[in-house]
């Protein structure tokens, strides 16, 4: 829930009856808290604030703050404690223990899978489906995550400790934790000592054959799962795959649909992303790419072919895989002699050859639900190219260091991301709450010390005492960090730093007084440079080439003979329906009807 940044909408203090109501709600939600503990958690006189936020998925969440730390959060009228609260009351919730390397996965947004749960000698805590639970690390009782049980304890044991155990909502190291003082978990000794645990480990009746960390467990594959999990952060993906293939006892297990799904669920997020890349790679080669498409830019293969093969609800992200770079993924496929990649132009790699008779391609079966689409694409090769949809681009603003005093009153900090309308509302509320509207002329705002420091240059501070509303807002926007959000069709929104660069069109002079049209930054708008070059080449019957863009890493530019801005403008504005404000250089088109 808090693995990604959230937006703060409001920050107010809690007083009187609201504070008493919150205390009664906490007492009802956590009946094990004594009256003294409730008074400590929800004090009568100390500062207590409530913050309204929206998660990256748009969920409305209420966060309660005490001593500048988030102590509780409320979603869909359910109260949850934060890790800061659980460090003070570590036994407030039933706790499941896991291995230390798993914490980084949980903080990144992963749920707690049952193969990663360490079963203590006394057995798992007794919970029902939907019970609020904590997650601790082996050897320390201080919770590091809060989640909701997906299964009851009996269902977990019946499933052989496979599949998803807890849906994780909040963790140490996530963005909600960062909103506090960023302290680290205390070291709290487990309630059961190690020596007692060793004595209890031999008791098969108490463990019921389910304890995965003892040598007497009747299910050796459960022991192997947890050892694999602890090694995943230290070993390479290839070594892990080799180890999994060597477990013959796993291969002997019955392979029904349910066990296959559980096995997939037990993989780390990195392994799942590797599998998704492999699936989309073979799907694209089998259904999307044909021999006449070669040579094919690797960026085009990824953006136009592999992305379109991604199942609904999933998204390819090379940085979340073990490869980290798409070029390394292709190198791996080249080592397997599936395809061949060459640098046809300096800095620009292309797929030049594909072995469609390779056993891995022939053996690949298109996933159910996608096979019909693949068959349709095979029958109509001309429909293989995707219809382009112009991205939605929204300018955003980040709170800079200099502007913190102006925005901290509304609960925002350095780096908070806001839209222009949100900035406008915050400034209006600030002016009104501080009574800065000029009494004689309401079109002007009085400049107080905060506005003076944030919005005025040093040379202006002794001269300007009032600002017009529009000048006040424009100065504010100029001093915030520029950002922009790009949303491509069927994909999650992406927030990038700075203003988006326009598609840049220039005319260059070559030898013998020949002119060429150069187009840059097409990739920023989801346009494939190779497709644009091919389309232009067919329209104007002139030579078009792809070359690396100077000074721009991993970008290319299209170069076509002659001044082709008229044709290019028609393509970008009418066919691709890009707004004119994102295209630079259209004024350089040759004037029609001009006599030479």
Element (H, E) at 20: helix 16-29
Element (H, E) at 261: helix 257-265
Q: What is the Cα–Cα distance from 454 to 197, expressed in whole angstroms? A: 60
Query: 3-class DSSP state for residue 271?
Result: helix
- Which residue, chain included where needed, has tokens 């994102």? 582
Mean of pLDDT over the chain? 80
Q: What is the pLDDT of residue 7?
A: 60
What is the rounded average pLDDT of the residues 6-19?
71
pLDDT-derived band at 506 (thresholds 50, 70, 90) equals: very high
- Which residue, chain included where needed, has tokens 């004119």? 580
Phi, then psi, of 430 in degrees rounded to 5: -65, -45
Sign (positive/negative) of CA torsion 182, 188, 191, 193?
A: positive
pLDDT at 53 over 90: no
Instruction: Give the model confidence (pLDDT) of 537-565 as tens digits.
Output: 878 878 888 888 887 777 889 999 888 88
pTM of the predicted structure, to 2 decimals: 0.40
CA nearest 530: which of 326, 310, 301, 327? 301
Instruction: Give the model confidence (pLDDT) of 570-596 as tens digits.
Output: 889 988 899 999 999 988 877 765 444
CB burial of residue 572 (10 Å; 0-12, 13-18, 19+): buried
Q: What is the Cα–Cα distance from 237 to 320, expressed in whole angstroms? A: 13
**Which residues, in sequence order, are CB contacts of 502 under 8 Å at separation 6+?**
521, 581, 582, 583, 584
What is the rounded average pLDDT of the residues 137-165?
90
Buried/exposed 42-56: b ≥16 CB within 10 Å, e otherwise: beeeeebebbebebb
pLDDT at 370 over 90: no
**Which residues, in sequence order, are CB contacts of 63 under 8 Å at separation 6+?**
50, 51, 53, 70, 72, 73, 74, 176, 179
Going by their DSSP bridges, the two strands 60-66 and 69-75 should be labelled as antiparallel
pLDDT-derived band at 415 (thresholds 50, 70, 90) equals: confident
**Which residues, in sequence order, are CB contacts of 289 under 8 Å at separation 6+?**
296, 301, 305, 351, 354
What is the rounded average pLDDT of the residues 86-97?
92
Q: What is the Cα–Cα distance from 560 to 515, expressed in whole angstroms? A: 9
What is the rounded average pLDDT of the residues 213-217?
37
What is the rounded average pLDDT of the residues 255-266?
47
pLDDT at 145 over 80: yes
């Amino acid at each position: 829930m808090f693995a990604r940044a959230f937006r703060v909408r409001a920050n107010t203090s809690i007083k009187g009856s609201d504070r008493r109501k919150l205390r009664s709600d906490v007492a009802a939600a956590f009946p094990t808290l004594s009256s003294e503990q409730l008074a400590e958690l929800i004090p009568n006189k100390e500062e207590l604030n409530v913050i309204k936020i929206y998660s990256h998925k748009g969920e409305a969440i209420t966060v309660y703050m005490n001593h500048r730390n988030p102590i509780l959060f409320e979603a869909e009228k359910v109260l949850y404690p934060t890790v800061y609260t659980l460090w003070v009351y570590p036994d407030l919730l039933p706790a499941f223990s896991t291995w230390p390397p798993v914490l980084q996965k949980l903080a990144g947004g992963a749920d707690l899978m049952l193969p990663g749960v360490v079963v203590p000698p006394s057995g798992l805590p007794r919970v029902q489906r939907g019970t609020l639970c904590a997650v601790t690390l082996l050897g320390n009782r201080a919770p590091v995550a809060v989640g909701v049980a997906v299964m009851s304890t009996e269902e977990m044991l019946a499933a052989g400790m496979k599949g998803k155990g807890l849906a994780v909502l909040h963790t140490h190291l996530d963005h909600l934790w960062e909103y506090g003082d960023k302290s680290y978990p205390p070291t709290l000794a487990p309630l059961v000592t190690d020596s007692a645990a060793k004595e209890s480990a031999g008791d098969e009746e108490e463990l019921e054959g389910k304890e995965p960390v003892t040598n007497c467990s009747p299910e050796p594959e459960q022991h192997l799962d947890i050892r694999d999990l602890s090694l995943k952060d230290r070993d390479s993906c290839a070594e892990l795959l080799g180890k999994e293939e060597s477990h013959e006892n796993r291969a002997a297990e019955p392979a029904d649909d349910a066990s296959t799904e559980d096995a997939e669920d037990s993989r780390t997020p990195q392994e799942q992303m590797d599998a998704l890349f492999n699936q989309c790679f073979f799907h694209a080669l089998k259904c999307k790419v044909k021999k006449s498409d070669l040579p094919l830019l690797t960026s085009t293969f990824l953006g136009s072919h592999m992305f379109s093969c991604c199942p609904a609800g999933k998204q390819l992200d090379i940085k979340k895989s073990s490869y980290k770079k798409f070029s390394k993924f292709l190198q791996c496929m080249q080592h397997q002699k599936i395809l061949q990649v060459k640098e046809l132009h300096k800095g620009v790699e292309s797929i030049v050859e594909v072995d469609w008779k390779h056993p891995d391609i022939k053996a690949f079966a298109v996933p159910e639900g996608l096979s019909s689409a693949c068959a349709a694409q095979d029958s109509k090769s001309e429909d293989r190219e995707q219809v382009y949809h112009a991205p939605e681009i929204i300018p955003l603003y980040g709170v800079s260091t200099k502007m913190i005093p102006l925005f901290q009153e509304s609960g925002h900090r350095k780096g908070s991301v806001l839209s222009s309308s949100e900035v406008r509302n915050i400034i209006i509320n600030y002016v009104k709450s501080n009574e800065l509207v000029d009494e004689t002329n309401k079109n002007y705002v009085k400049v107080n010390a905060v506005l003076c420091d944030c919005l005025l240059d040093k040379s202006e501070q002794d001269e300007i005492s009032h600002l017009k509303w529009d000048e006040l807002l424009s100065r504010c926007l100029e001093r915030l960090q520029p950002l922009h959000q790009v949303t491509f069709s069927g994909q999650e929104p992406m927030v990038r730093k700075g203003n988006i660069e326009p598609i840049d069109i220039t005319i260059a002079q070559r030898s013998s007084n020949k002119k060429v049209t150069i187009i840059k930054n097409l990739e920023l708008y989801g346009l494939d440079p190779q497709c644009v070059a091919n389309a232009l080449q067919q329209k104007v019957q002139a030579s078009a080439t792809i070359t690396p863009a100077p000074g721009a890493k991993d970008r290319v530019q299209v170069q076509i003979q002659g001044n082709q801005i008229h044709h290019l403008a028609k393509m970008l504005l009418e066919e691709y329906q890009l707004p004119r404000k994102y295209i630079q250089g259209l004024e350089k088109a040759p004037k029609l009807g001009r006599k030479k």
